[in-house]
Amino acid sequence: MNKYWIYLGVCVLLGFTASCNDSDDNGPTYTPTPVTLEIPAVFDGVLLPPAIPNDNPLTEEGIALGKKLFFDPILSLDNSQACADCHRPENAFSDPRRFSVGINGNEGTRQSMPLFNMAWNFENKFFWDGRALSIEDQIFKPVVDPNEMANTWPNAENSLQADAEYPELFERAFGTRNIDSVLVSKAIAQFMRTLVSANSKFDRFQMGLEQLTPQEENGLNVFLDEGRGDCFHCHGLPESPLWTDNIFHNNGMDEVITDLGLGGFSGDPREFGHFKSPSLRNLAYTAPYMHDGRFETLEEVINHYSEGLVFSETIDPLMKNVSTGGAHMTESDKADLKAFLLTLSDESFINNPDFRQ
Amino acid sequence: MKNLKKIALLLVATVAFVSCNNDDDSTPTPSNTTVDFTFTQNFNGDAIENSDYENTQYTNANGETLTLSKLVYLISDITFTATDGTVYDAGDYNLVNARTGSNLNFTPGVSIPEGDYTVSFTFGFDDEDNDLDGGYPGLNTADGGWNVPTPLGGGYHYMRMEGTYINNLGATDNFQYHTVRANRHSSLPPSPTTLEELVDTSFIVNLGTVTIGSNTNIEVKMNVDQWFKNPNLWDLNTWYTVLMPNFEAQMDMSENGAGGVFSLGEVTQ
């Protein structure tokens, strides 16, 4: 009986000691502040809630760290190029150049995609060709792309680790001073999920705060008319205000497909030449257009769908009257359509101080 | 020590007694169950698999050669009507993407007693569901927005079937067989001021009587060929595009759909 109580006492003591030890191992308290992404009024109740991964919840410390990393050239090999150099806030986080230029002076082959409302991409495929399966995954690519930052992740991690500020910032955000690529991607992804654009003239019209001009109203009708613009089947509509389907299409730009797009990643020949529909928000700031930036103006884009369609094997069936080049809209309808499209641009987004360095 | 053993024994006995008591208290009731559905597609009996899209050529009743590239459709209000007339309906919907395979399997959110039921569902949305205040966020973000533009009456698509066909001139052309609520306009192109009439062209599919057990799966078959015939022979050369604001085309689509596109497949227990 006595032995029994002694064993029990020892066990309790050991357990207590172990508990104390665990607490001591934790070091400074890790208490990041949770952030709930504010849902814009035009999205609220209309769209599904934003997709925030369970293993990377938004926190004030994580977002701040991600923003610092986004604007810091430290991730590039020669410390000369930041994410923001090719994803410029004033261009809705796109690049006014047709192809961005990496640290080695090499051009890429596709236009820099604008960045906003990515938390509502429920397809979870990113880049023009969908080869990144999450925002976090997407961040891994440009750092090591020889035509972009041309770095290695071990080298980028070492640079951050040796920096005077970053270890402390990672500790605040993630509870560790040991910096690795996964945490870098998580932090930048958190910042990118906060890039929300939903305050365009059309958004305000939807909320009854502003009126459209007759020209803009007719442009919306053209947009929604299967026989003219038929833009809505790929680019959404007022009831689906992301203005993209986040899906991949061959939109009849080339008879011979040289850039395989989604098919180059998936290996499926039926997806050769498929590229993601970009959102039509912020077109005023995101020229040039299309995955290869071949069109400098919205007029060229509209003319393409009106008269310029060409056939290839994987062309999307939504491209109508391909044999005659398209729907042949009137010049008046084209001008109205352009006027409507420009109502989707959100000046407050590109000037938001939270999104500037 | 002896006392301790006695106390322990008493505790065990008490727990056992209470446990038995609980069991005895529960009166046996018929167990309710959910029912699984599997949606399959075929062209006149030939199963349509992912590899068939954009590859396999089919010939419709009018003799046109066609391929499919997209087949997405909405069903709603799966309903179980018991032999005593009791109706069970979860009131939910399922958007099937036949090519990608998403939502081919669906379990309505209703639990029913085992037994015999007449099983039915609605193709698309009836007007009550189509005009639901606030709509459906899940559909607003599905397939680029499953909505129908307001100038065409609003609500939601019922189906998007797309592909290519060989036209009368021997050329390959695209078709978009989109089914929506029929909308008639005073003039085209449509605008918010041209809409004159809306007709609910959703339809109810009755699968017949099915015995529901504790683990029942019901296959619902779609014969795509049926969309092009019976009662209306479909000529793709005439109606291949801009069908959403085409009132007559929508009426014919609905009649063909109700004419036997869907049928009961295999039922497993």
Of A11 and A86, the structure prediction assigns the larger pLDDT to: A86
Assess A329–B contact: CB distance below 8 Å, yes or no: no
pLDDT value at residue B133: 87
Q: What average pLDDT score do residues B32-43 get? A: 97
Residues sharing a CB contact under 8 Å with residue B241, sequence separation 6 or more, in sequence order: A226, A320, A321, B174, B175, B176
Nearest to A46 among B137, B154, B174 (CB): B137
**How is residue A38 written in tokens?**
């504010």
| Chain A residues near residue B245 by CB distance under 8 angstroms | 225-227
Chain B residue whose CA is closest to A226? B242
CA distance B97 to B162: 12
Percent of chain A with pLDDT over 90: 89
Count the alpha carbons within 13 Å of A224 in the hemisphere toward its beta carbon: 25
pLDDT value at residue A224: 97
**How is residue A154 written in tokens?**
């071990």
B164, B66 in Cβ contact below 8 A?
A: yes
Torsion angles phi and psi, residue B38, rounded to 5: -125, 130
pLDDT greater than 80 at residue B21: no
Assess B99–A contact: CB distance below 8 Å, yes or no: no
CA distance B176 to B123: 18
**How is residue A229 written in tokens?**
């613009």
Residue type at A14? Answer: L
Chain A residue whose CA is closest to B171? A323
Chain A residue whose CA is closest to B162? A317
Segment B202-257, tens digit of pLDDT: 999 999 999 999 999 999 999 999 999 999 999 999 999 999 999 999 999 999 99
- Residue B150, SS3 per DSSP: helix
Segment A179-231, tens digit of pLDDT: 999 999 999 999 999 999 999 999 999 999 999 999 999 999 999 999 999 99
pLDDT value at residue A29: 60
Q: What is the overall mean pLDDT for chain B?
A: 91
pLDDT greater than 80 at residue A83: yes
Of B17 and A348, the structure prediction assigns the larger pLDDT to: A348
pLDDT value at residue B16: 41
B242/A46 CB distance under 8 A: no
pLDDT value at residue A22: 39
Residues sharing a CB contact under 8 Å with residue A73, sequence separation 6 or more, in sequence order: A79, A80, A81, A82, A85
Distances (CA, A) of B154 to B36, B248, B255: 31, 18, 21
Instruction: Report which of B37, B57, B61 is spatially closest to residue B48, judged by C-alpha positions.
Output: B57
B190/A221 CB distance under 8 A: yes
Q: How far apart are the first and last CA of chain B?
A: 57
pLDDT value at residue B4: 45
Q: Using the 8-state DSSP alphabet, how is residue B201 labeled?
A: -
**How is residue B234 written in tokens?**
């479909």
Segment A126-177, tens digit of pLDDT: 999 999 999 999 999 999 999 999 999 999 999 999 999 999 999 999 999 9
| Interface test with chain B among A318, A323, A330, by most B beta carbons within 10 Å | A318
| b (16+ CB within 10 A) / e for A119-156 | bbbebebbbbbbbbebbbbbbbebbbeebbbbbebeeb
- Residue B116, SS3 per DSSP: strand
Q: What is the overall mean pLDDT for chain A?
A: 92
Strand partners, B66: B58, B165
| Chain B residues near residue A234 by CB distance under 8 angstroms | 144
Distances (CA, A) of A175 to A25, A153, A163: 12, 21, 17
Assess A270–B contact: CB distance below 8 Å, yes or no: yes
Q: What is the largest CA-CA distance in chain A?
A: 100
A9 burial level (CB within 10 Å; 0-12, 13-18, 19+): exposed
A36 burial level (CB within 10 Å; 0-12, 13-18, 19+): exposed
Please give the ipTM for the structure prediction: 0.87
| Chain A residues near residue B162 by CB distance under 8 angstroms | 317-318
Helical packing angle, A298-307 and A331-342, nearest 10°: 130
Query: Can the peptide bond before residue A288 be classed as cis, meaning omega within 30 degrees of 0?
Result: yes
Neighbouring C-beta atoms of residue A157, cutoff 10 Å:
19
pLDDT value at residue A264: 97
Residue type at B135? Answer: G
Segment A39-81, tens digit of pLDDT: 999 999 999 999 999 999 999 999 999 999 999 999 999 999 9
pLDDT greater than 50 at residue B152: yes
Torsion angles phi and psi, residue A336, rounded to 5: -65, -40
Nearest to B141 among A47, A227, A318 (CB): A47
Per-residue HEC secondary structure of chain A comes to CHHHHHHHHHHHHHHHHHHHHHHHHCCCCCCCCECCCCCCCCCCCCCCCCCCCCCCCCEHHHHHHHHHHHHCHHHCCCCCCCHHHHCEHHHCCECCCCCCECCCCCECCCCCCCCCCHHHCCCCCECCCCCECCHHHHHHHHHHCCCCCCCCHHHHHHHHHHCCCHHHHHHHHHCCCCCCHHHHHHHHHHHHHCCCCCCCHHHHHHCCCCCCCHHHHHHHHHHHCCCCCCCHHHHCCCCCCCCCCCCEECCCCCCCCCCCEHHHHHCCHHHCCEEECCCCCCHHHCCCECCCCCECCHHHHHHHHHHCCCCCCCCCCCCCCHHHCCCCCCHHHHHHHHHHHHCCCCHHHHCCHHHCC
Q: To which H or E segment does residue B251 belong?
A: helix B247-258
Q: Look up the pTM and report it.
A: 0.89
- Residue B163, SS3 per DSSP: strand
- Residue B129, SS3 per DSSP: helix
**How is residue B111 written in tokens?**
């639990």
Query: Can the peptide bond before residue B189 be classed as cis, meaning omega within 30 degrees of 0?
Result: yes
B30 pLDDT band, cuts 50/70/90, is low
- Residue B218, SS3 per DSSP: strand
B50, B99 in Cβ contact below 8 A?
A: yes
Which domains, ranges and CATH numbers included, belong to chain A? 60-196 (1.10.760.10), 201-350 (1.10.760.10)
**Interface A-B: count of C-beta contacts within 8 A:** 102
pLDDT value at residue A323: 86
